[in-house]
Amino acid sequence: MLFHLWEYFLYFLFKEDQHSIHSPHFFNLYQNLKSFLRINRKGNRDIEQHRNKFLTSQERIYRTDFGAGSRWSNGEQQQVASIAKRATTAVKFSLLYQYLCKLTPANTVLDLGTSLGINTAYLVSVTNGNLYSFEGDPALELLAHGHLIQYSNVNSIAGNLDKTLKKMLEDIKSVDFVLMDANHRYQPTMHYFGLIAPKLHKGSILVIADIHWSKEMRKAWDEIKGMPSVTSSIDFFECGVLFFNDLGIRNDYILEI
């Protein structure tokens, strides 16, 4: 927790505004993003109704966690309302992911870490092809399936991501958008990126959630951001966004939404 607070202090110290964005491409991207968030600030009504149902659910489930765990977990059995409160993404970041996904062809979208399926629903609503959503916890997968079943192009893949991702990628030629919000540890994060990287193209966008969650995640973010295939990045604190388009000059920004 102390590391997370220190990271936020540094983020607050170095974050920039639109006047610091010298690239016309990213200036327009950021301005359009702010406008999109302002217009849609309440989120999608139907999706937010599902979020509210989870937030008020007294149901208790037994958890199976293949990741780095949670700061708020009090044991294997947890109340759904508590999970929804602590583990679901804020509306503005769900909208951010949706907006970024729309910038890509969105023919093949990967959602690593379905959880309760809120981000999944936002992403699939702008997916032109197929969305593949991965969840290792059977109880969470079942809850998410209850409302994601309405989308015919959502492919829910249950099981340990360490095993399921590689198998799924064997049949995929390219990937347009990726949200990595699963195992918040260094080695798995690097491993997942390594599997996905050969499938990315110049129009792809990859988002890594919780890049300041721990020293391991910060290390993974810094290393992946510095890879030759990554041409630009944006640090929104809650997540990091990676771009692969060649604009002639590298751009790395620290921004807020």
* Residue 249 placed within a domain: yes
CATH number reported for the structural domain that contains residue 127 in this entry: 3.40.50.150
Residue 14, phi then psi, degrees to nearest 5: -105, 0
This prediction's pTM: 0.93
What is the Cα–Cα distance from 241 to 221, expressed in whole angstroms? 10
Residue 240 lies in a domain: yes
Q: Residue 81 and residue 133: Cα distance in Å, rounded?
A: 22
pLDDT score recorded for residue 71: 43
Write the DSSP assignment of 102-121 as a string of letters: HTS--SEEEEE--TTSHHHH
* Domains of the chain: total: 1
**Quick one: which of 200, 205, 216, 212 has its CA closest to 239?**
212
> CA 165, CA 110: separation in Å to the nearest integer?
10
Strand partners, 111: 133, 179
Q: Is residue 77 part of a domain?
A: no
Q: Is residue 83 part of a domain?
A: no
Residue 87 main-chain phi, psi, to 5 deg: -110, -15
Per-residue burial over 24-63, b if 16 or more Cβ lie within 10 Å, else e, is: eebeebbeebeebbeeeeebbeebbebbebbbebeeebeb
User: Domain for residue 72, yes or no?
Assistant: no
| Residue 247, domain extent | 2-45+89-254
Answer yes or no: is 80 within a domain.
Answer: no
Please report, in tens digits, the pLDDT of each residue of the chain (257 residues total).
799 999 999 999 999 999 899 999 999 999 999 999 999 999 999 999 999 999 999 999 988 765 544 444 445 789 999 999 988 999 999 999 999 999 999 999 999 999 999 999 999 999 999 999 999 999 999 999 999 999 999 999 999 999 999 999 999 999 999 999 999 999 999 999 999 999 999 999 999 999 999 999 999 999 999 999 999 999 999 999 999 998 888 999 999 99
Residue 56 covered by a domain: no
Long-range contacts of 14-18 (CB under 8 A, 24+ apart): 14/254, 15/237, 15/254, 15/255, 15/256, 16/253, 16/254, 16/255, 17/255
Would residue 191 count as lying in a domain? yes
Query: What SS3 state is found at 69?
Result: coil
Longest pairwise C-alpha distance within the chain: 53
Predicted local confidence at residue 89, as pLDDT: 94
